[in-house]
């Protein structure tokens, strides 16, 4: 029996309850999203995020779990989350630290949480937060600008794309599931694009050889995520949520480059709320964003943040905390 089969038999014979492990080994849980930023309203969803320590099997054995999703899904007829919906994700401690070293914006937000939004924390969690300023580097500038660019693109997706997706889906529902998409190259609203003869519908592109069955699933998934966004397109002509994310990310990146941290709740939260409420036309948002990109570049050039992560210091911190945690857990099991 080769090693691959041995590992497969081990993983099948010992399926661990990672959700229970994440709950039991939790070191930090916080409110994230609009509650953390100070941009929440009465209708805002509750988003929770946490960090948990690994068990011995995950450190020394063959078990692996980097993230655990404990979310409660509850949506209304328009695809919007209801009041019962909770977005709740936990990161394994070492995975969280790796993402923080990469200056992932969503992860860096955790490190600068204010006291009000800490739901639960133990000594390890507090020590991690106390180390917040050893993670940011000048490279964070590129991550924040890249994330902002993606929001700029998403805010401009046109409503007619969604109309095309709905029309195309109705056509596909009347077809044999095993017909391939190239058969639709001349049928509106589908079109054939590029040398690869890919099939375009709305803002989705399909390989010419994939079956109708798979294309339907992709379109249904796209529409389920976009339904509540269409209302914003219709009202404002662009997606104000993505627009607010665009400006927020650029402002956060500038603050981080200038000060080495991001203060929560955000000092510019009223600006973000004004964008969400449709106060500014898209032309204003674009000009504002272009100005912030220039400011971000200047902040990057003059930033006193280190060019590289403080890897040795971070590694020593992680090793100490994991070893200490496992030693304590081992003593508890023996007694």
Using a pLDDT cut of 70, give the percent of the chain over it: 87
Residues 95 and 166 in one domain: no
The answer to whether residue 281 sits within a structural domain is no
The pLDDT tens digits of the residues spanning 254-272 come to 999 999 999 999 999 999 9
Q: How confident is the model at residue 239 (pLDDT cuts 50, 70, 90)?
A: confident
301-321: pLDDT as tens digits: 999 999 999 999 999 999 999
- Asked whether residue 123 carries a pLDDT value surpassing 50, the answer given is yes
Best CA proximity match to 123, nearest among 314, 320, 330, 331? 320
Residues 243-257: what's their mean pLDDT? 97
Same domain, 130 and 203: no
Assess whether pLDDT exceeds 60 at residue 106: yes
Identify the residue with better confidence: 222 or 168: 168
Does residue 190 share a domain with residue 90? no
pLDDT at 10: 47
Does residue 83 share a domain with residue 27? yes
Reading the block at residue 225, the tokens are: 């995520």
Q: Are residues 111 and 209 in the same domain?
A: no
Containing structural domain, residue 53: 17-135+309-334
State phi, psi for 32 to the nearest 5 degrees.
-120, -175
pLDDT at 13: 41
Residues 97 and 29 in one domain: yes
Span 46-57, average pLDDT: 95
Sign of CA dihedral 222, 225, 228, 233: negative
- Kindly state the average pLDDT of the residues 126-155: 95
* More confident position, 171 or 72: 171
**pLDDT-derived band at 162, boundaries 50, 70, 90:** confident
Q: Supply the pLDDT for residue 72.
A: 73
Specify burial of residue 82 (Cβ count, 10 A radius: 0-12, 13-18, 19+).
Answer: exposed
What's residue 32's pLDDT? 97
* 73 pLDDT tier (thresholds 50, 70, 90): low
Q: Where does a domain end: 188, 206, 236?
A: 236
Residue 136: predicted pLDDT: 98
How many Å apart are CA 159 and CA 44, to the nearest integer? 24
- Cα-to-chain-centroid distance, residue 124: 24
Are 183 and 108 within one domain?
A: no
Answer whether residue 86 is part of any domain: yes
In a domain, 152, yes or no: no
- Collect all residues with Cβ–Cβ distance below 8 Å to 166 and sequence separation of at least 6: 223
Q: Looking at 72-86, 127-141, 253-267, which range is the least confident one?
A: 72-86
* Averaged pLDDT for residues 35-57: 93
> Do 182 and 130 sit in the same domain of this protein?
no
Residue 191 counted as domain residue: yes
| 219 occurs within a structural domain | yes
Residue 14: pLDDT band (50, 70, 90) is low
pLDDT at 222: 75
Residue 88 lies in a domain: yes
Question: CA Rg, the chain, in Å?
Answer: 23
CA 208 distance to own-chain centroid: 30
pLDDT of 12 > 50? The answer is no
* Average pLDDT rounded to a whole number, residues 63-70: 92
90 and 38 housed in the same domain = yes
Residue 283 within a domain: no
What pTM value is reported for the model? 0.77
**Which of 85, 30, 72, 38 is closest to 228 using CA atoms?**
85
Domain count, the chain: 2
Last residue of a domain, one of 220, 236, 252: 236
Looking at residue 254, its pLDDT comes to 98
Structural domain includes residue 299 = no
Other beta carbons within 10 angstroms of residue 42's beta carbon come to 5
Which of 73-82, 189-198, 261-270, 291-300 has the lowest average pLDDT?
73-82
- For residues 127 and 201, state if they share a domain: no
CA 57 to chain centre: 28
Residues 176 and 114 in one domain: no
pLDDT tens for residues 80-89?
555 566 889 9
Write a three-state SS string for the chain. CCHHHHHHHHHHHCCCCHHHHHHHCEEEEEEECHHHHCCCCCCCCEEEEEEECCCHHHHHCCCCCCEEECCECCECCCCCECCCCEEEEEEEHHHHHHHHHCCCHHHHHHHCCCHHHEEEECHHHHHHHHCHHHCCCCCHHHHHHHHHHHHHHHHCCCHHHHHHHHHHHHHHHCCCCCCEHHHHCCCCCCEEECCCCEEEECCEEECCCCEHHHHHHHHHHHHHHHHHHHHHHHHHCCCHHHHHHHHHHHHHHHHHHHHCCCCCCCCCHHHHHHHHCCCCCHHHHHHHHHHHHHHHHHHHHHCCCCCCCCHHHHHHHHHHHHHHHHHHHHHHHHC
Give me the CATH number covering residue 39. Answer: 3.30.460.10
Domain boundary among the residues 236, 262, 288 is at 236
Cα-based distances in Å from 185 to 160, 163, 210: 19, 18, 13
Instruction: Tell me, yes or no, whether 108 and 178 share the same domain.
Output: no
Q: How confident is the model at residue 202 (pLDDT cuts 50, 70, 90)?
A: confident
């Amino acid at each position: 029996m080769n090693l691959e089969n041995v590992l497969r038999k081990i993983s099948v014979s010992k399926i661990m309850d990672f959700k229970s492990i994440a709950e039991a080994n939790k070191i930090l849980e916080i409110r994230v999203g609009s509650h953390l930023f100070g941009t929440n309203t009465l209708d805002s969803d509750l988003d929770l995020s946490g960090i948990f320590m690994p068990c011995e099997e995950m450190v020394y054995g063959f078990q692996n779990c980097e993230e655990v999703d404990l979310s409660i899904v509850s949506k209304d007829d328009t695809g919007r989350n209801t009041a019962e919906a909770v977005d709740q994700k936990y990161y394994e401690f070492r995975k969280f630290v790796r993402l923080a070293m990469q200056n992932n914006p969503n992860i860096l937000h955790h490190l600068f949480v204010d006291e009000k939004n800490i739901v639960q924390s133990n000594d390890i969690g507090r020590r991690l937060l106390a180390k917040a300023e050893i993670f940011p580097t000048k490279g964070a500038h590129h991550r924040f600008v890249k994330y902002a660019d993606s929001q700029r693109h998403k805010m401009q997706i046109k409503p007619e794309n969604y109309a095309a997706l709905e029309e195309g889906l109705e056509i596909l529902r009347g077809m044999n599931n095993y017909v391939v998409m190239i058969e639709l190259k001349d049928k509106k609203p589908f079109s054939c694009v590029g040398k690869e003869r890919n099939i375009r519908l709305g803002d989705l592109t399909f390989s010419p050889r994939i079956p109708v069955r798979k294309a339907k699933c992709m379109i249904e998934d796209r529409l389920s995520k976009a339904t509540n966004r269409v209302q914003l397109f219709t009202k404002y002509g662009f997606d104000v949520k993505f627009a607010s994310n665009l400006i927020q990310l650029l402002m956060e990146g500038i603050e981080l480059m200038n000060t080495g941290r991001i203060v929560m709740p955000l000092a510019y939260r009223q600006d973000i709320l004004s964008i969400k409420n449709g106060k500014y036309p898209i032309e204003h948002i674009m000009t504002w964003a272009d100005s912030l990109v220039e400011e971000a570049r200047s902040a990057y050039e003059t930033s006193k943040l280190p060019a590289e992560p403080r890897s040795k210091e971070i590694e020593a911190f992680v090793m100490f905390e994991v070893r200490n945690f496992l030693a304590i857990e081992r003593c508890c099991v023996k007694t």
